[in-house]
Structure 1
């Protein structure tokens, strides 16, 4: 009967695990819908800031902002967006694998690098490989807050303006749909030609992207002057891109966690079924053995 007791204990343990994964799946599904709504609500802001910045740059061709200046790449800054918690499948692993691959390329070419980490998982990986982390922000919760992101972003923007880095990159998970989250590694600075969407530039040629942007004869009145307005707007544009990437990463996290927990619950259910079958066979064999012993004893008497 010891074997039967062990199997019963195992079944109970797996059942308890399934209750936990099922609860986590339901919680993730609830949070996922809210995260997706916040992500979609933030997209119009990023698109509008991009449109305004593009119009202002076209209206002021005599002012060339440092964010648009191409430089020889000797040092790069990388902002890595991951989740604070695990149990979300390969979401964090995929983006960190992409970051490590690019870091290997930088090292082979003699390019220095410094990192900003948003999220505990990315920070933990960067710390383990002794990467240079110049700023960080963790425990972001379920709602992205621009106020908490600005300080870490400013460290990299100041480094770019001071010439300490020659390009700024962003590694994150882009939300495609509930079942698919795409890890991307895009260049934020210098900004692409005509301020094209960096996500589009990452998948299309610069020529095709520039052709898709219409030309207009914009004319603006600036207060106090064009330089200050453009400087502030382009900084807000970069901050808006990072904020939107964090919001998309949070939506991706909840979607990936829901899918992972559903898979875990389904696997637990299958394991319980298999263990129940083994339990029934073992119990039946034990009962048959006892009956045989009783019948044998009666026959001997």
Structure 2
């Protein structure tokens, strides 16, 4: 019986060691991808922050703008641009994005533009209408972001939707990533009167602030989508690296415990064998 138990423990140790090799390899791959993704996310932030501030400054100076993307209206139909991962094994990364969408819209009637395989699979199963998609976050380029941004703007302009929200994961640090829901359309303008007055005296837009706003708004929307893709991809790799590192540590701990159990079983088997030999010798005398 002892021999059979020792064999099972040995098989279990080999199984955990095989799993550990996989999780360690995935951790190393994610670490390599994370470094590149982090650089891309951090380098893109200044551009998109400047773009956002520029839109805010121009919009404050347009007064009663007739731009359709600034007009508030009753929200009967919403659109969500949802960015999740291409695959799993990233802790709660994908589930947290799904929870953010469901918390913001629990009716399951919104239109969705999905970015990433997990976003499309999860939301389509819950009854959301997928009107456009980018299959892979890792392979997404600016042209892809621009295409889905144009689709969202078209849906808003034609009255298909009354609001466009961007759902992504903000990269804060290697250990912290935060799901966010940001309204893209209509553009929310800070109504600080003192800032408006100051801006009017400092900046003049030609041919007009409204015309400049009409030109830059599409770039703002597509730029926001691409910036969110960069943030989300860095967050996904960070989350996966953390999850695989934790899995590797758990495997090491499990192997240590199994080895201890194995050594105790082997010691017990040796002790039992010695006892049987001594008992046999005593009986012979």
Given the two structures, how large is their TM-score scaled by the length of structure 1?
0.86
Residue 82 of structure 1, CA deviation: 0.4
CA distance in 2, matches of 1:170, 1:18: 37
CA distance in 2, matches of 1:231, 1:188: 15
Given the two structures, how large is their TM-score scaled by the length of structure 2?
0.91
Contact 1:114–1:133 (Cα < 8 Å) also in 2: yes
Contact 1:144–1:247 (Cα < 8 Å) also in 2: no
CA distance in 2, matches of 1:192, 1:19: 49
SS at match of 1:177: coil
1:94-120: CA deviation from partner (whole Å, max 9, x where unpaired):
11112112221x56xxxx411111111
Which residue pairs with 2:104 in the alignment?
102
Residue 219 of structure 1, CA deviation: 1.1
Contact 2:60–2:189 (Cα < 8 Å) also in 1: no
Contact 1:25–1:257 (Cα < 8 Å) also in 2: yes
Which residue pairs with 1:198 in the alignment?
none
Which residue pairs with 1:173 in the alignment?
169
Within the candidate set 176, 179, 185, 1:183 is matched to 179
Which residue pairs with 2:204 in the alignment?
219
CA distance in 1, matches of 2:195, 2:277: 90
Which residue pairs with 1:241 in the alignment?
224
| Shift in alpha-carbon separation, 1:187–1:62, aligned structure 2, 3 A | closer
CA distance in 2, matches of 1:190, 1:286: 75
Residue 48 of structure 1, CA deviation: 2.3
Which residue pairs with 1:45 in the alignment?
47
Which residue pairs with 1:138 in the alignment?
135
Aligned residues: 279
1:24-46: CA deviation from partner (whole Å, max 9, x where unpaired):
21221222121111001111211
The answer to whether the aligner puts 1:159 opposite 2:155 as a matched pair is yes
1:252-277: CA deviation from partner (whole Å, max 9, x where unpaired):
01111111111111111110111011
CA distance in 2, matches of 1:212, 1:18: 60
Residue 59 of structure 1, CA deviation: 4.6
CA distance in 2, matches of 1:120, 1:134: 14
Residue 211 of structure 1, CA deviation: 6.8
SS at match of 1:246: helix
Which residue pairs with 1:254 in the alignment?
237
SS at match of 1:172: strand
Residue 93 of structure 1, CA deviation: 0.7
CA distance in 1, matches of 2:118, 2:65: 41
| Shift in alpha-carbon separation, 1:296–1:242, aligned structure 2, 3 A | same
CA distance in 1, matches of 2:277, 2:283: 10
SS at match of 2:214: helix
Q: In angstroms, what is the RMSD of aligned CA positions?
A: 2.0
The answer for unaligned runs of 5 or more in structure 2 is none
SS at match of 1:216: helix
Relative to structure 2, which stretch is displaced further, 34-43 or 285-294? 285-294
Residue 136 of structure 1, CA deviation: 0.9
Relative to structure 2, which stretch is displaced further, 46-55 or 14-23? 46-55
